[in-house]
Amino acid sequence: MRIAVPKEIKNHEYRVGLTPSSVRELLVHGHEVWVQAGAGTAIGLDDAAYEAAGARLATDAAEAFARGEMIVKVKEPQPAEIAMLREGQLLYTYLHLAPDPAQTAGLVKSGAVCVAYETVTGPGGGLPLLAPMSEVAGRMAVQAGATHLEISKGGMGMLLGGVPGVPPAHVVILGAGVVGTHALQMAVGLGARVTVLDKNVDRLRHLDLVFGNRITTQYSTAHGVEEAVLGADLVIGGVLIPGAAAPKLVTRAMVSRMRRGAVVVDVAIDQGGCFETSHATTHAEPTYVVDGVVHYCVANMPGAVARTSTFALNNATIGHALALADKGWRAALRDDVHLQAGLNVAFGQVTCEPVAQQLGYAHTPVASVLA
């Protein structure tokens, strides 16, 4: 199969779909790989490294999209990229379609076959292709939150861990999944006072066993969320419903009653965000203020540490990339129900049920597409 990797064009996005080592793996399996010139230069993966691994260089995105039978990316395709997709072409990347009707409409119109990293499931549960970026984003959320608590960034001027004689900041984490757990590790490590809320009591029990009295675990209810948020200096939103839009756990009314100079970091923004006051921002302009509360809602947070993120992502995605290339997408999906869960759009049909429900499309079962 001919596989192509275009350079990412989203604002301040420097990750790349395949590393040179991933390129080599695909070549060992007999495939042909094209990488757009300059795709990995910003993170130290120059064109010479790709050529040494056996890749061919495409001069621009148009050539990459034209040559590839399978397109491997990181972020959702931008409008200019969607325009270059063709019917039957395989797209393998993050999509996050539920809060993005324009992208969904474009992919439906293109007729491309779109496999989304974030809805591929794992044998032991969970979302293994989303997990590495959730790990990065969870850790970054505390880092970003701590920075924006500084007065120069619009915050209240609080040091996350405090100092002897001065109490630490109170960090509230909504969701005890991958994002929440990694945010928790960072916040505890920096000496913050931490409360984590989730509806999964087994998950809360596990965190309590690991962290003991260094954290407070709380079952998530509307009242519990409100009480915690109003007493927080930093709130991190890490809730996820696979494939669907994130629930709005924090209302505008709650935000209006939060402490002036408090910070919210909405890691769920890729799926629409879990704060009513959230809207996507970029690394160029990462924050805005609502009712005195600083909102950090960057939609591609891991892009800020693009080298780490690229290698972590490739570790998770290369196995399925090889299966799709070796067998073709139909056979690969038939053979693996977990990869099958990643198919979101194919030949103008929406095959991911939460996306179809959220955006008002008729849902086409994956089995009917494979048949």
E-strand stretches of 39-176: 56-58, 70-72, 90-93, 113-116, 170-174
**What is the reported pLDDT for 339?**
98
**What is the reported pLDDT for 160?**
97
The one catalytic residue among 96, 170, 182, 320: 96
Q: pTM, whole model, 2 decimals?
A: 0.91
Dump pLDDT digits (tens) for 149-200. Answer: 999 999 999 999 999 999 999 999 999 999 999 999 999 999 999 999 999 9
Residue indicated by tokens 């999209």: 65
**What is the reported pLDDT for 349?**
98
Residue 363 is a catalytic residue: no
- Average of per-residue pLDDT across 129-136: 96
Give yes or no for residue 336 having a pLDDT over 90. yes
| Three-state secondary-structure class, residue 198 | strand
The answer for residues whose C-beta is within 8 angstroms of residue 340's C-beta and 6 or more apart is 333, 334, 366, 370
- pLDDT confidence band for 138 (50 / 70 / 90): very high
Percent of the chain at pLDDT above 70?
Answer: 100
**What is the reported pLDDT for 151?**
97
Residue 96 is a catalytic residue: yes
The one catalytic residue among 233, 266, 270, 336: 270
Tokens of 293: 């509360």
**What is the reported pLDDT for 285?**
96
Dump pLDDT digits (tens) for 46-86. Answer: 999 999 999 999 999 999 999 999 999 999 999 999 999 99
Taking Cα atoms as reference points, which of 91, 58, 99 lies closest to residue 75? Answer: 91
